Chains A and B, each alone.
Chain A
Amino acid sequence: MTKLDLSDVRGDHRILCDFVAPGSRVLDIGCGTGNLLELLINTRGVDGRGFDTSQKGVNEAVARGLSVVQGDADNDLAAYPDDAFDYAILSHTLQATMDPKQVLEQLLRIGKKVVVSFPNFGHWRNRMQLLFKGRMPVTDYLPYQWYDTPNIHFCTIRDFVALSEEVHAKVIKAEALDARGKRIAFNAPWWVWNLIGDQAVFLLERK
């Protein structure tokens, strides 16, 4: 495993890369224009495939030479066979799906392991905004207003832990990231991460 200089790379992407074994088969759901996919191919030598709802993003990714299809996580994941990939990755996409639980179940079916990153709605700044301003939180990470956000299903770290339990997934590893996208380098109970974690990355597998 070569450690490359990933200082310019998005925080959750850096950790996602660490979670993925070199040379594995990977499906990146919600891959956008393929930044993470390219990073995984370049740093981990994966056989990478992508999937995104935005045709514009997909066209750009394919023109970059990546294997990406236009599709919708809520409807099109059913076409993939069981265990089709070593890793099914969902980076900052879960909160934008219509049915996060069903999507997570599909991921656990088509990926031997599942990596999910998401913004933590339970972060103290979000709680403060709601508590003191009485308005839905708008932050650097979550720049949308409530009425135009694509993020229709926010959750907190503890919500996600509960959902994992419900879909019979085992948490193999988890990391919380601070506001600068740096790993919070100490182990703490979920409630602490839930308060200070800006985002989280989970590695799951079927129980």
Chain B
Amino acid sequence: MPASKLMRFGPENPLRLDEGTELAPWQIAYETYGELNADKTNAILVCHALTGDQYVASENPVTGKPGWWSMMVGPGQPVDTDKYFVICANVLGGCLGTTGPACTNPETDEVYGLDLPVVTIGDMVRSQAKLVEALGIETLFAVVGGSMGGMQVLQWASAYPEKVFAAVPIATGPRHSSQNIAFHEVGRQAVMADPDWCHGQYAKEGKRPLKGLSVARMAAHITYMSDESLHNKFGRNLQDRSAITFGFDADFQIESYLRHQGMTFVDRFDANSYLYVTRAMDYFDLAAAHGGKLANAFLHSDTRFCVMSFTTDWLFPTSESKDIVRALNAAGANVSFVEIESSRGHDAFLLDEPELFKTMRGFLTGAAKARGIPAPGNGD
């Protein structure tokens, strides 16, 4: 297991789960960047997406790649670690140090596998709240995240409004749509159809369902891109050949690309974790948890919101962000909303999108002014 900062919670500090049980002992792996100021008002929690990790702005020790959002988070970046204290934790059910299905079940001394209770976005956020509390931080200056990270942002703002000064949900929705659940189910079925999955007990059998997990990633990856970006990047271009081969090799560049995405993914991700974390997204429905009315999730909220979406994101289309905005307005909350023109689909929130950075910097600077913490010096 890569060396991350680790907060352990013993039997005296169990994590209550939405499923109805309690998890103990449990642990949460996290990274921090920048310095917490004396009055502890400058902490920003970054929530990662489905297959993200805590290495938001530093090299991932498994892949050796730079932090997944290092264009957004770092010294002088929009989430400026010269000014803010940034925390990013691996989600509950994940596989990079936080308690997940690949961890050892203390009751049996064996790997949890499917014996780990099913976790929810609410559980993830509850575990993060315990971490934040353990770090001695009463109120977060901001909670920020895209996609599943954005769901966590909404959950934070709804469950702990007094602890969230500003919230930035990006490329996300107030619930997982039927179409999104459908794609997740395809991915899970691919994992479970792999004979090496062994009903979730592959660790005990000394196997890994790499083929299934790889196919799951390939299917999911398509949903992260737009038709336009696929067309621009690959078109119908052939891969290292001048003509089609009348076979089932990866003739097309897009096939080769997806296979590569699938193969590299299995090196860094656990198959059972994939089942758990996709399930957590599927179960997310903020309105349902508040009597069917989304506005009720944000009543009397003093949090400042900045909602962002991307024009070609069909996984979490702008209409979903607008549902959030409408509910926030109905609840009388302080909300900004920006739809960003991009051809790159859902993945845009992780890419070099100047308008995204400009909006984040402007919003955080305004919020920092309102909170009385010095704003980033090189704001534009």
Contact = CB atoms under 8 A, between A and B. Distances in A.
Interface of A: 47, 49, 55, 58-59, 62-71, 76, 79-81, 84
B351 interface: no
A17 to B, nearest CB: 20
Interface of B: 304, 306-307, 325-327, 329-330, 332, 334-341, 355, 358-359, 361-363, 365-367, 369, 380
A84 B341 CA distance: 31
Contacts of B355: 59
B334 A49 contact: yes
Given A59-B359, A79-B330, A67 B339 contact: no
A70 B330 contact: no
B339 A63 contact: no
A79 B329 CA distance: 6
Given A69-B336, A70-B337, A63 B361 contact: yes
B327 to A, nearest CB: 8
B369 A65 contact: yes
B358 to A, nearest CB: 5
Contacts of A47: 334
A69 B335 contact: yes
A62 B329 contact: no
B326 A62 contact: no
Contact of B326 (A58, A66, A76): A76
B78 to A, nearest CB: 10
B335 A67 contact: yes
A65 B365 contact: yes
Q: Which 3 A-B pairs have the closest CB atoms?
A: A65-B366, A63-B362, A69-B337
A63 B337 contact: no
A69 B362 contact: no
Given A63-B361, A64-B366, A65-B365, A80 B329 contact: yes
B332 A70 contact: no
Residue of B338, B339, B361 with highest tally of chain A CB at under 10 A: B338
Contacts of B304: 67
A62 B338 contact: yes
B359 A62 contact: yes
B366 A70 contact: no
Contacts of B330: 79-81
A58 B338 CA distance: 7
Given A49-B334, A66-B366, A69-B307, 4 more contacts: A55-B339, A62-B363, A69-B329, A71-B325
